[in-house]
Chain A
């Protein structure tokens, strides 16, 4: 009887004593998983529970916290700036996720047909994703600058007027969306590509025999069979997109703004997490900040559950 007990059926030995003996004998396994759980208890579970307590308190970090019951949540529900940040976040999310999914699908379909230079091409498409958001946001700030940026120079070159990218709320949202799309399209294309390559080529053969062209095959075979991958990409994009912070913070945090975490002109770049950060760490409102964090968590949770339900319900029941 050794530790390599994966072959031993657990159901055969359910008596408490043998369970305990097995647990004692398995001490190295418990020791191996202990570091993760110790760290999680200290830096994951404990702070999360503590933040729940904090959200019922008023505290600026100094002195002693004051219990205020549900006041923070009532205030949050009536906080226009918070709802503005929710709106901003969803606008940015829609403006970035929709083009990103479409372009990524097209790129993946093309890569799927490209035999030569495939590694170089994949690296080129992937590399924006590994570069720091801070560096890219600074660069995009220069490209989308008002009077001397490359974006406006290109628009002028084809006879279009300047766009005030970073000097209007919608311009800021658009710039942030372009940055997010830029950084995540290649990543998602690579994942779509892997999904496409796991589709059995015999399915395509059969379709070809039935007279389906490449476009028809894409819509009738690739897209339906890619659904699980698309759900994965959508859920991941939702969770990361609704928590976007760095893009907005760096793009709108220049010295021209008096308050660096306010989201720029008209607070157009004030995302939910940026508002949380501003309240918690610029204004030291720890209690209110904690309630914002829980508000954000609930919004993301509801949104993920809805999109999950929606996509799973429409999935093939045989899967």
Chain B
């Protein structure tokens, strides 16, 4: 689905209103792009401002009027972040958690979605409805008992407390099921069966190769939301030496709120990796987000 819609066909015959002149059409298009570009600049402006603060000294930031251009102190401020807190460990923890959750979600969700999309087994519809119902339960209902469970399991402060409960989710199953229904033809499934392939061979040889773009979307989505997760890591990661980036960032701000240059350098470091990952798949990602919502 492309936004590059072809120009609408001109209906022959009666045209009720005179076609706007070339000049006024040009002016209108100029106005459209002026507004769109202004909005887009406003949308990315905070990222620029993040860079401005992160690259100036704190005393420059406190000046009035504030400096509007990036300064030359970015690396100083980054060094200050590493000086104040251990930044590498939170970065590594976040990577471990986000990658593990993404991998597990892709595996478990695609298996379940494959079963729901392509097989007719007793209780299927009821079970799928159950998957949808789990969507509705808000997180804070479960969070206190979850915390108690983690205490009992001895997982408080450990990364598996973030990974295991998030290893499969209703959204991914729901989304991939739709995807598989439209992307995996029954004929290929039957051909695989004729070759003596069972469920798991069909999954590996027929389903997985055909749904790679869908997995790409779900993977990126899962990675981004896990990377940005805050409430549950804040609750469960009680060991200050084993936290994720978002928690480290909040702690950095709570402890050194006056040192803006340094804190924004930290925020910049926590944001840039995700931006890079996102920009790689942005085009398809945005299209898929929209498709998922429309249906």
A residues within 8 Å of B by Cβ? 2-8, 10, 19, 22-23, 26, 28-30, 32-33, 35-37, 39-40, 42-48, 50-51, 54, 61, 107, 110-128, 130-136, 138-143, 147-148, 150, 153, 157, 182, 186-187, 190-191, 193-195, 197-198, 201, 204-205, 208-211, 213, 229, 232-233, 239, 243, 245-246, 249-250, 253-256, 260, 273, 276-277, 280-281, 286, 289-290, 293-294, 296-297, 300
Q: Which residues of A contact B216 (CB under 8 A)?
A: none
Known: A6-B186, A191-B289. 10 other contacts (CB 8 A): A29-B199, A134-B246, A134-B250, A142-B61, A148-B62, A186-B43, A213-B17, A250-B250, A293-B144, A294-B141
**Minimal beta-carbon separation of B25 from chain A (angstroms):** 12
**Minimal beta-carbon separation of A289 from chain B (angstroms):** 6
- Asked if B8 and A143 make an inter-chain contact with CB atoms under 8 angstroms apart, the answer reads no
Interface of B is mostly: helix
- Asked if B119 and A48 make an inter-chain contact with CB atoms under 8 angstroms apart, the answer reads no
Neighbour of B140 across the interface among A4, A115, A276, CB < 8 A: A276
Asked if A47 meets B118 with Cβ closer than 8 Å, knowing A33-B127, A110-B32, A254-B257, the reply is: no
Q: Which residues of B contact A260 (CB under 8 A)?
A: 254
Q: Which residues of A contact B23 (CB under 8 A)?
A: none
- Asked if A36 and B112 make an inter-chain contact with CB atoms under 8 angstroms apart, the answer reads yes
**Minimal beta-carbon separation of B235 from chain A (angstroms):** 6
Any A CB within 8 A of the CB of B97 = no
Interchain CA distance A1-B169 in the complex, whole Å:
32
What would 8 A/B residue contacts be, using CB atoms closer than 8 Å?
Answer: A2-B190, A4-B189, A5-B120, A36-B173, A40-B168, A44-B142, A131-B271, A148-B62
Neighbour of B116 across the interface among A33, A239, A253, CB < 8 A: A33
Neighbour of A211 across the interface among B8, B17, B63, B112, CB < 8 A: B17
Closest chain B residue to A206 by CB distance? B11
From residue 115 to 154 of chain B, which have CB atoms closer than 8 A to chain A?
115-116, 118-124, 127, 130-131, 134, 137-149
Q: Which residues of B contact A204 (CB under 8 A)?
A: 8
Tally chain B residues at the interface, Cβ within 8 Å. Answer: 110
Q: Which residues of B contact A141 (CB under 8 A)?
A: 253
Interchain CA distance A128-B127 in the complex, whole Å:
36
- Asked if A40 and B134 make an inter-chain contact with CB atoms under 8 angstroms apart, the answer reads yes
B residues within 8 Å of A by Cβ? 1, 3-5, 8-9, 11, 14-17, 32-33, 35-37, 39-41, 43-44, 46-47, 49-50, 53, 61-66, 108-109, 111-112, 114-116, 118-124, 127, 130-131, 134, 137-149, 164-165, 167-170, 173, 186, 189-190, 193, 198-200, 203, 224, 227-228, 230-231, 235, 245-246, 249-250, 253-255, 257, 260, 263-264, 267, 270-271, 274-275, 278-279, 282-283, 286, 289-291, 293-294
- Asked if B8 and A205 make an inter-chain contact with CB atoms under 8 angstroms apart, the answer reads yes
**Minimal beta-carbon separation of B253 from chain A (angstroms):** 5
Interchain CA distance A297-B137 in the complex, whole Å:
8
Q: Which residues of B contact A61 (CB under 8 A)?
A: 148
Neighbour of A195 across the interface among B115, B137, B173, B294, CB < 8 A: B294
- Asked if A6 and B165 make an inter-chain contact with CB atoms under 8 angstroms apart, the answer reads no
Interchain CA distance A152-B164 in the complex, whole Å:
45
- Asked if A132 and B121 make an inter-chain contact with CB atoms under 8 angstroms apart, the answer reads no
- Asked if A245 and B293 make an inter-chain contact with CB atoms under 8 angstroms apart, the answer reads no
Asked if A243 meets B138 with Cβ closer than 8 Å, knowing A125-B39, A260-B254, the reply is: yes
- Asked if A51 and B271 make an inter-chain contact with CB atoms under 8 angstroms apart, the answer reads no
- Asked if A209 and B142 make an inter-chain contact with CB atoms under 8 angstroms apart, the answer reads no
- Asked if A150 and B49 make an inter-chain contact with CB atoms under 8 angstroms apart, the answer reads yes
- Asked if A194 and B200 make an inter-chain contact with CB atoms under 8 angstroms apart, the answer reads no
- Asked if A28 and B33 make an inter-chain contact with CB atoms under 8 angstroms apart, the answer reads no
Q: Which residues of B contact A115 (CB under 8 A)?
A: 3-5
Q: Which residues of A contact B65 (CB under 8 A)?
A: 153, 157
- Asked if A48 and B224 make an inter-chain contact with CB atoms under 8 angstroms apart, the answer reads no
Interchain CA distance A250-B146 in the complex, whole Å:
23
Interchain CA distance A155-B276 in the complex, whole Å:
34
- Asked if B49 and A246 make an inter-chain contact with CB atoms under 8 angstroms apart, the answer reads no
- Asked if B39 and A4 make an inter-chain contact with CB atoms under 8 angstroms apart, the answer reads no
Asked if A3 meets B141 with Cβ closer than 8 Å, knowing A141-B253, A194-B291, the reply is: no
Q: Which residues of A contact B286 (CB under 8 A)?
A: 122-123, 126, 190
Interchain CA distance A37-B120 in the complex, whole Å:
18
Asked if A191 meets B290 with Cβ closer than 8 Å, knowing A110-B35, A132-B228, the reply is: yes
Q: Which residues of A contact B279 (CB under 8 A)?
A: 123
Neighbour of A296 across the interface among B64, B130, B138, CB < 8 A: B138
- Asked if A132 and B274 make an inter-chain contact with CB atoms under 8 angstroms apart, the answer reads yes
